[in-house]
Amino acid sequence: MLETLSRHIASEIKKADPDGPTSVEVMEYAIGIKITEISAVLMVAVIAWITGHFWGALLALATIMFVRRFSGGVHFSNLTLCVCFTTAVCVTIPFVSLSLSTFLIINACSLLVFVVYAPNHFIYINKTKYHKYYKTICILVCILNFFVQSHIICLSIVIQAFSILPLWKGGERKWIRNWREL
Check residue 95 and give its pLDDT: 97
**Residues of the chain above pLDDT 90, percent:** 54
Distance CA 4, CA 19 (A): 23
**With 90 as the cut, is the pLDDT of residue 16 above it?**
no
Provide mean pLDDT across the span 12-27: 80
Distance CA 48, CA 69 (A): 23
Q: Is 30 exposed, middle or buried (0-12, 13-18, 19+ CB in 10 A)?
A: middle
Amino acid present at 156: S
Count of CB atoms situated within 10 Å of the CB of 10: 21
**Residues of the chain above pLDDT 70, percent:** 88
**With 90 as the cut, is the pLDDT of residue 98 above it?**
yes
Find, among 160, 179, 175, the residue nearest to 71 by Cα. 160
Which phi and psi angles does 15 have, rounded to 5°? -65, -40
**Distance between alpha carbon 89 and the CA centroid of its chain, in Å?**
12
**With 80 as the cut, is the pLDDT of residue 171 above it?**
no
Provide mean pLDDT across the span 120-149: 85
Provide mean pLDDT across the span 148-161: 97
Check residue 105 and give its pLDDT: 97
pLDDT band at 175 (very low <50, low <70, confident <90, very high): very low
CB-based contact 104:143 (threshold 8 Å) = no
Provide mean pLDDT across the span 103-111: 97
CB-based contact 141:62 (threshold 8 Å) = no
pLDDT band at 169 (very low <50, low <70, confident <90, very high): low
Cα end-to-end distance, the chain, whole Å: 19
Check residue 152 and give its pLDDT: 98
Secondary structure letter of residue 175 according to DSSP? E
- Quote the pTM value: 0.82
Residue ranges covered by each domain of the chain = 2-181
Check residue 177 and give its pLDDT: 41
pLDDT band at 121 (very low <50, low <70, confident <90, very high): confident
Amino acid present at 99: S
SS3 103: helix
